[in-house]
Amino acid sequence: MRAVVFDGVVLGLQFGLLGVGLTLVYGLAGVLNLAYGQLAVLGAVVAALRIDAGAPTIAAVLTGLAAAGAVALALDLTLMRPVYRRRGEDRVLLGLLLMLGVAFIIDGVLVWRYPIEALTLRIGGDPVDVLGTRMRTGSLLASAIALGVGAVLVVFLRYATAGKAVRSVIQDEEGAQLCGVSPARVRAFVFALSGVLAALVAVTRSMTSPVTVNAGIDFTILALIVAVVGGLGSVSGAFLAGVLLGVVNTVSAHYIGTYVTTIVLLGAAAVTIVLRPSGLLGAGRE
């Protein structure tokens, strides 16, 4: 049982990291980034191509992260412009549809150009004993990265002046403007950051299992579930939801069966949303 829960936490930290980028962009800009998983895969494919070309792993991974961040930034500065001119439901709907289109385009291009590309990072070393459970080094490294990045993000949002500016736009865009915060700049920053985070999830994921070109949609759906359960706009919420769902996932896979895992996962998400419609934590509350 303990090992199963442990696996769940490891998986959950990945879920959390996955939800973070999506939740921030939605909380901030009202854009549900349905191309989120495709950005993750894009980063992974770029990294894999660099590795194939003989680049050192670290450099290849950094290139992959930068590529995903750059594409996200470019989307924010171009395609999302008309979206930001709208308010409320109009904005959400247009943003969602445009990003869905982007998802298809990235998916299509990647599958067409690199149909068999996959990113696999082999993390060497023997399994390590953690509280009586043997953990693979890849899993541990992935968890450490997720925890580290999550902690840095929470501290940044809570204490840094720029982080407070991000939260101010999430909580009240007009109030933020009146304080001298430029929503456009904050959005561009967070959009780029979300691209980097998406790619980072693909990278850490590839430490335990290969990330293939068609993994985008799975990433997006998982990110959506995590973000909604955690409360759209909350980083700590995403991690909390990620870990809970991760444990639910492995426990149900172990005791009930892998084939119903998705159903159990969605069920858990649905129950949370019925009990707490705004998610576990509120937007911009770190």
Partner 1 sequence: MAMLDIAELSAGYLGEDVVHKVSLAVAEGEAVAVIGSNGAGKTTLFRAVCGLMRPSHGSVRLDGRPITRRRAHDIARGGLAYVPAERHLFPEMSVTENLDLGAYPKRPSPERRGLVLDLFPRLAERRRQRAGTLSGGEQQMLAVGRALMSNPRVLVLDEPTTGLAPKLAVDAYAALEALRGHGLTILVAEQQVPLALGFADRGYVLEDGHIQLQGTSAALAENPGVQQAYLGVA
- Residues forming the site for partner 1 (CB under 8 A): 161, 164-165, 167-168, 171-172, 174-183, 282-285
**Spatial CB neighbours of 154, under 8 Å, sequence gap ≥ 6:** 235, 236, 286
| Of 33, 19, 37, 188, the residue nearest 95 (C-alpha) | 33
Given the complex with partner 1, which of 24 and 65 has the nearer CB atom?
A: 24
Closer of 216 and 237 to partner 1 (Cβ): 237
Nearest-approach distance from CB 75 to partner 1, in angstroms = 22
**Structure tokens that stand for 167 in this block:** 């939260």
Compute the least distance from the CB of residue 205 to partner 1, in Å. Answer: 32
Which among 49, 51, 50, 25 has a CA at the least distance from the CA of 36? 25
Q: How far is the CB of 236 from partner 1 (least distance, A)?
A: 12
Nearer Cβ to partner 1, position 107 or 173?
173
**How much is the CA Rg of the chain, to the nearest whole Å?**
18
CA dist., res. 127 & res. 136, Å (int)? 4
Structural contact between residues 98 and 35, judged by C-beta atoms closer than 8 angstroms: no
Three-state SS for 135?
strand
Task: Give the residue with the Cβ less far from partner 1, 254 or 285.
Answer: 285
Task: Tell me the closest approach of the beta carbon of residue 271 to partner 1, in angstroms.
Answer: 25
Q: How far is the CB of 165 from partner 1 (least distance, A)?
A: 6
